[in-house]
């Protein structure tokens, strides 16, 4: 009889325990505000310190991030899709020479540019990516075309360019990606005969990459990432940005993620998918999942970088383990732009 | 006082509950046999039916799988590393014309061959991969060289070939990969003007790819995958095989995984990492994690294929959602080769 009572108590307590765990889960806020829209963006992470920044440069980055947020916000507010918001926002960042993506892409060892991008839809887990392209003006738009117009997920090099050119994607001469600033960076690094992760701005070592994650009024999450890779890279190296699961992931059930950082670590730790998995199986919210992967697992491994994360209730996290990360978000209640640590 | 007693009972029961959960976890058997070695391999999954198989062909595949297992077994039994076991076993499968990897690679639309491979070490999560190469005899060995001799994880095309050639990897003329059988498959498919996933053997549609996961006496897990891709593919499409997290993953804490199947689905579901995550965060064992991803998530999405999974206690699962999968495993107690469903 006592055993029976204990057994019943056990069952009751196990139920209570499970419920407590679920309350710790994904949606600590905004539950009452659904449907809502939200977008979070990044423009790279790294050794970005206030003391090394000029007012002029800080203003240029802040203005660019603000403008990018406005592009996505306008689309989302008017009932547009998160796919449009992410693509158009990233197009703007790709067209800016400030960021290591599109126009501002860094140079490879062979003085060429090799751009990567990926995009994923959280409603059906469809995905598209291009790698190592240098005649596509906006790689994120090519990634979207792979997603929507092909049976494939990932195309690289000349094949990806051929596919894009057949689908009304704007093609450019490789010289479009020449910028004096990036070319000088390459020369400087070649003189030092070392490989440097993304851009070197004299004092600011940064992991250049841009990304956006958006939630639209229909409740769909889309995540996208675009990059110019690593200055002075050789051997057609591919980083995490075009790798679904590493640089980008989206699942309406969990979250959308876009990463920026030392790509090799982000691939090995499958960072974007790991954050989604920690929410799916580990019952964590966006902040807990992001901290676990970016601020624990990657820090222990020596992998630098950050991520932006957004769930279906509009909860946002922007964890990074570097000195700074160009980042910001917008929703019906807030607009935030940040560069340094809080 | 009653509340205090109830609180203490709660704590005790929560502890018991946690322990029960852990017992359900990764290591349901073999705990008493550690240290042990084990290796599991696959040679592709698909519509492989007994009724369509000749005795001769069945014998050829069985013999090849047996020989492959013996190569790895010999290395592991003698205290060799799981990295050596996986590389040498996959080399054998790559050199056999029976499988869609290495020598037996299928043809692209442009009548070329584009091979992919990846390798991952479970002790430190280091990884290497090559994609879209056609002058490297054994892509899995090139992937190992990327892992061990470079700071990068993933190289593609000419760059990957240049890197391999600088590191004593055996290079071949692209004509090495010509086999009449594969060329005829391409011609047949081109006549039908459709893209076919991997090989068409008249009656057997298969996802050709080879893979191995090994556990050595030091307790280290290594996983590797190698493929010739998809017959008649265009646009330098990259499948899941060279993508860490999609076709291959290894983590001593959870498991090693190598996949074979419709690559696009395996990328979108980050299948190899998802299986590892289900074990890490979801407290599942190899069979439960494999079934969740291969037989539930992929089946619901319409993605066909399979995976081999091995944990640090030597527990093995070989889930697949197709008619058959060339597969087998060996450990100090058992040697099993299978082709069809049980």
Of the candidates A227, A294, A222, the one whose C-alpha atom is nearest the C-alpha of residue A252 is A222
Nearest to B235 by CA among B327, B334, B114, B150: B114
Instruction: Work out the angle at residue B193's Cα, subtended by the Cα atoms of residues B189 and B197, and round it to the nearest 5 degrees.
Output: 50
Whether A175 shows a pLDDT value over 80: the answer reads yes
Q: Judging by DSSP bridges, how do beta strands A237-238 and B154-156 pair with one another?
A: antiparallel
B154 pLDDT more than 50: yes
Position A6 confidence tier, pLDDT thresholds 50, 70, 90: low
Residue B29 has pLDDT above 70, yes or no: no
Using pLDDT thresholds of 50, 70 and 90, give the confidence band for residue B41: very high
- pLDDT given for residue B2 in this prediction: 60
What is the structure's pLDDT at B61?
96
Higher pLDDT, B22 or A210: A210
Read off the pLDDT band of A52 (50, 70, 90).
confident
Query: Could you tell me which residues come within 8 angstroms of residue B291 by beta carbon, excluding any fewer than 6 positions away?
Result: B317, B319
User: Whole-number mean pLDDT of chain B?
Assistant: 89
Residue A342 has pLDDT above 80, yes or no: no
Interface check A280 vs B, CB under 8 A: yes
H-helix segments, A24-81:
55-77
Catalytic residue numbers of B?
209
Looking at the predicted structure, is the pLDDT value of residue A202 above 50?
A: no
Instruction: Tell me the nearest-neighbour CA distance from A67 into chain B, angstroms.
Output: 31
A17 versus B87: the higher-pLDDT residue is: B87
Q: Nearest CA of chain A to the CA of B281: how many Å?
A: 5
Q: What average pLDDT does this structure show over B9-17?
A: 48
Q: Determine what percent of chain A is predicted with pLDDT higher than 70.
A: 85
Beta-bridge mates of residue A200:
A205
Alpha-carbon gap, residue A309 to A122, rounded angstroms:
13
Q: Which member of A89, A108, A135, A209 is catalytic?
A: A209
Contacts of A234 in chain B (CB under 8 A): 159, 162-163
Which fold is adopted by the domain A35-340?
A: 3.60.20
- A39 burial (CB, 10 Å; 0-12 / 13-18 / 19+) is buried
For the stretch B304-339, pLDDT in tens is 999 999 999 999 999 999 999 999 999 999 999 999
Contact between chains at B301 and A127 (C-beta distance less than 8 A): no
Residues of B in contact with A120 (CB under 8 A): 268
- The pLDDT tens digits of the residues spanning B210-262 come to 999 999 999 999 999 999 988 888 999 999 999 999 999 999 999 999 999 99
Cα-based distances in Å from A106 to A58, A82, A116: 20, 28, 12
Angle subtended at Cα B57 by Cα B101 and Cα B199, rounded to the nearest 5 degrees: 40
Q: What is the mean pLDDT of residues B179-193?
A: 87
Is a pLDDT exceeding 80 seen at residue A25? no
- CB of A263 within 8 Å of a chain B CB? The answer is yes
Q: Under an 8 A CB cutoff, do B245 and A152 touch? A: no
* Partner A, chain B 5-24, Cβ-Cβ below 8 Å: 9-10, 13-14, 16-17
Helices in chain B by DSSP H: which ranges? 2-23, 55-77, 82-95, 139-149, 157-165, 180-192, 263-268, 271-280, 286-290, 298-301
pLDDT of the residue at B194: 55
Q: How many helices (H) does chain A have, and how many strands (E)?
A: 10, 15
Predicted confidence at residue A49, as pLDDT, reads 86
Residues of A in contact with B274 (CB under 8 A): 273, 277
Span B86-135, pLDDT tens digits: 999 999 999 999 999 999 999 999 999 999 999 999 999 999 999 999 99
- CA of A237, closest CA in chain B: separation in Å? 4
pLDDT (0 to 100) of residue A11: 47
State the pTM of this model: 0.88
Would you call B277 an interface residue with chain A, using a CB distance cutoff of 8 Å? yes
Is the minimum CB–CB distance between A152 and chain B shorter than 8 Å? yes
Long-range Cβ pairs for the range B291-296 (8 Å, 24+): B291/B317, B291/B319, B293/B269, B293/B319, B294/B319, B294/B320, B294/B321, B295/B319, B295/B321
What is the token pair recorded at B42? 């696959």
Q: What is the mean pLDDT of residues B145-152?
A: 97
Q: DSSP letters along A234-301, please?
A: -TTEE-STTSBTTTEEE-TTS-EEEEEE-HHHHHHTTHHHHHHHHHHTT---HHHHHIIIIIIIHHHH
The percentage of chain B sitting over the pLDDT mark of 90, rounded to a whole number, equals 77
Residue A162's nearest CA partner among A207, A192, A130 is A130
Average pLDDT value for residue range A41-49: 92
- Residue among B236, B247, B283 with most chain A CBs within 10 A, to mutate: B236
Q: Please, are residues B29 and B315 in contact by the beta-carbon 8 Å criterion?
A: yes
Whether A97 contacts chain B with CB within 8 A: no
**Is residue A42 over pLDDT 60?**
yes
Predicted ipTM of the assembly: 0.88
* CA distance linking residue B16 with residue B26, whole number of Å: 18
Q: Is residue B289 within 8 angstroms of chain A, CB to CB?
A: no
A271-285, A324-338, B18-32, B76-90: segment of lowest average pLDDT: B18-32
Q: Note the pLDDT tens digit of each residue in B269-284.
A: 999 999 999 999 999 9
Chain B contact for A281, CB < 8 A?
yes
Q: Do A268 and B10 touch (CB under 8 A)?
A: no
CB contact set of A57 (below 8 Å; sequence gap of 6+): none
CA-CA distance, B298 to B292, in Å (whole number)? 9
Mean pLDDT of A218-228: 97
Kindly state whether B123 is in contact with chain A, defined as any CB-CB distance less than 8 angstroms.
no
Give tens-digit pLDDT for A119-151. Answer: 999 999 999 999 999 999 999 999 999 999 999
Q: What is the pLDDT of residue B63?
A: 98
Q: Is the pLDDT of residue B22 over 70?
A: no
Mean pLDDT for A185-190 is 88
- Tokens 């290594």 sit on residue: B222
Containing H/E element for A329?
strand A324-331
Predicted pLDDT of residue A7: 52
Among B197, B243, B298, pick the best mutation site for testing chain A contact (most A Cβ within 10 A). Answer: B243
The answer, for A3 touching chain B at a CB cutoff of 8 Å, is no
Task: For chain A, report the end-to-end CA distance as a whole number of angstroms.
Answer: 58
Q: Name the residue in chain B with its Cα closest to that of A132.
A: B156
pLDDT at A193: 63
- Contact assessment for residue A86 and residue A223, using Cβ atoms and an 8 Å cutoff: yes
Size of the A and B interface in Cβ pairs below 8 Å: 157
Q: What is the pLDDT of residues A61-71, one digit of tens each?
A: 999 999 999 99
- Element (H or E) spanning B260, and its range? strand B256-261
- What pLDDT digit, counting tens, does each position of B194-211 carry? 555 544 443 345 578 999
Inter-chain residue contact A273 with B274, CB threshold 8 Å:
yes
């Amino acid at each position: 009889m006592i055993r029976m009572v204990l057994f019943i108590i056990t069952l009751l307590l196990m139920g209570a325990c499970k419920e407590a765990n679920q309350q710790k889960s994904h949606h600590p806020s905004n539950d009452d505000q659904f449907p809502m829209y939200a977008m979070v963006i990044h423009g790279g992470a790294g050794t970005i310190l206030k003391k090394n920044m000029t007012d002029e440069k800080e203003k240029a980055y802040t203005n660019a991030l603000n403008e990018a947020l406005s592009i996505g916000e306008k689309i989302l507010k008017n009932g547009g899709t998160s796919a449009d918001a992410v693509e158009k926002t990233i197009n703007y960042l790709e067209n800016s020479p400030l960021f290591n993506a599109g126009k501002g892409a860094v140079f490879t060892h062979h003085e060429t540019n090799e751009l990567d991008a990926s995009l994923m839809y959280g409603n059906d887990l469809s995905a598209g990516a291009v790698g190592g392209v240098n005649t596509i003006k906006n790689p994120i738009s090519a990634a979207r075309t792979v997603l929507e117009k092909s049976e494939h997920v990932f195309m690289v090099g000349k094949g990806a360019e051929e596919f894009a050119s057949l689908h009304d994607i704007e093609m450019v001469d490789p010289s479009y990606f020449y910028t004096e600033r990036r070319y000088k960076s390459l020369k400087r690094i070649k003189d030092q005969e070392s490989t440097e992760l993304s851009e070197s701005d004299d004092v600011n070592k940064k992991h250049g990459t841009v990304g956006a994650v958006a939630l639209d009024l229909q409740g769909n999450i889309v995540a996208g990432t675009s990059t110019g890779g690593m200055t002075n890279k050789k051997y057609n190296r591919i980083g995490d940005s075009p790798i679904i699961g590493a640089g980008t992931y989206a699942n309406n059930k969990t979250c959308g993620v876009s990463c920026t950082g030392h790509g090799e670590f982000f691939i090995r730790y499958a960072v974007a998918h790991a954050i989604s998995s920690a929410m799916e199986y580990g019952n964590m919210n966006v902040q807990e999942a992001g901290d676990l992967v970016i601020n624990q697992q990657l820090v222990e491994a020596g992998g630098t970088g950050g991520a932006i994360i957004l769930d279906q209730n509009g909860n946002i996290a922007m964890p990074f383990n570097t000195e700074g990360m160009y980042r910001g978000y917008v929703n019906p209640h807030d607009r935030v732009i940040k560069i340094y640590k809080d």
